[in-house]
Homo-oligomer: A and B are copies of this chain.
Amino acid sequence: MRPLEDYIVVDFSQFLSGPSAGLRLADLGARVIKIERPETGDICRHLYTSNVIMNGESSVFHAINRNKESFTADLKSEADRAHVWELVKKADVVMHNYRPGVMERLGFDYESVKAVNPDVIYAEISGYGNIGPWKDKPGQDLLLQSLTGLTWLSGNAGGPVPMGLSIIDMLAGTHLTQGILACLVRRSVKGEGALVQVSMLESAYDLQFEAVTTYYYDGLLPQRSETHNAHAYLGAPYGIYQTANGYMSLAMGSIPQLAQLLKCNALLPYSEVAQAFHQRDEIKAILAEHLKTGTTESWLAVLQPADIWCAEVLSWDTLMEQEGFKALEMVQKVTMKDGYQYRTTRCPIRMDGELLTSDIGSPALGQDTQSILKEIIS
């Protein structure tokens, strides 16, 4: 039995952050009902990446919203609002990711929901928290990366380099999920409801907790290496290097040992471990020149038996050919109600040795409105 079986999540959220939390709750067994506005629905339905359209909607929407139901309601219509209130009364979790104040205007804020459903877990993601002068700014992933210092950690020394995924949306989603689950634990013991709040700003800052703790201590901003940077705070060889036929990564390792294993004489003078940080630019430059002279396979054949942390750099096509990847069965095929099928990832958590898969695709806008109405009225 899935841990959240019999739990109902009424989800007003859109885009990525909130819906990614809803996806995880669905995979854990909850029934997740998206409340969407008629005609347009979740804006993510038409938030295309690479202009790819799958069954009339964006691939992003299909990836994030599989295994959910869709209920359309015009929150300005009294009849529709009454139906949504019936759903909210039955909900274990109510969630949204509107800007502060919007749910208050719509009337479905925590105080109002709690009045009809006292032990509800009410969860919300904002961009910048509900207080302070930034609270009304738009909570968008790249903007949050820009504002929180995150762009000075990736890439080489020079200008800012963002992380090339909606990393803050996803982290805010994981934090919200954690908060919701923790409060469900408490509720099952104490019968108490809760308000759970996460902001993208706090999630973006939390992501940097290690580096920021170092900064609080020494007051030095991150210094990325001139080339081959993979972590501003780590010494050589930490980075990715080109070889004669591709790329390979080298994590932490002793420079003298590498010099010997790779037969790289130019590295021999770098005998002290401490130099690996302070002289990392020189060391990385020497390594980079040397590694170009052999194939990835030839280097790995020498380094891996010596327990040096290294790996080839794969892309999705080559990754998917690997037996080590296939064995994990990360790919699942899901089917929409109209029969449209697509492949996507599954929940990365295993329970009692079982995969938390589901073959249910994303919902067409409002596909479950009528059946849910029947339930409510009955």
Contacts and interface: CB of A to CB of B under 8 A. Distances in A.
Interface of A: 1, 3-4, 16, 24, 28, 49-52, 54, 59-60, 62-64, 128-129, 131-135, 137-138, 140-143, 145-149, 151-155, 159-167, 170-171, 174-179, 181-186, 188-190, 194-199, 201-203, 205-218, 220-221, 224, 229-235, 238-240, 242, 247-252, 274, 277-278, 307, 309-317, 319, 322-328, 330-331, 342-345, 347-353
A221 to B, nearest CB: 5
B178 A349 contact: yes
A54 B51 CA distance: 49
B163 A249 contact: no
A261 B35 CA distance: 35
Contacts of A146: 240, 247-249, 311-314
Nearest 10 interchain pairs by C-beta: A132-B327, A134-B324, A49-B233, A181-B181, A153-B164, A63-B213, A154-B164, A188-B188, A3-B182, A3-B186
A196 B197 CA distance: 26
A218 B162 contact: no
B343 A216 contact: yes
B28 A328 contact: no
B217 A52 contact: yes
A308 B128 CA distance: 17
Given A153-B165, A201-B325, A194 B348 contact: no
Given A49-B214, A182-B181, A203-B348, A142 B328 contact: no
A205 to B, nearest CB: 5
Contacts of A350: 179, 195-198
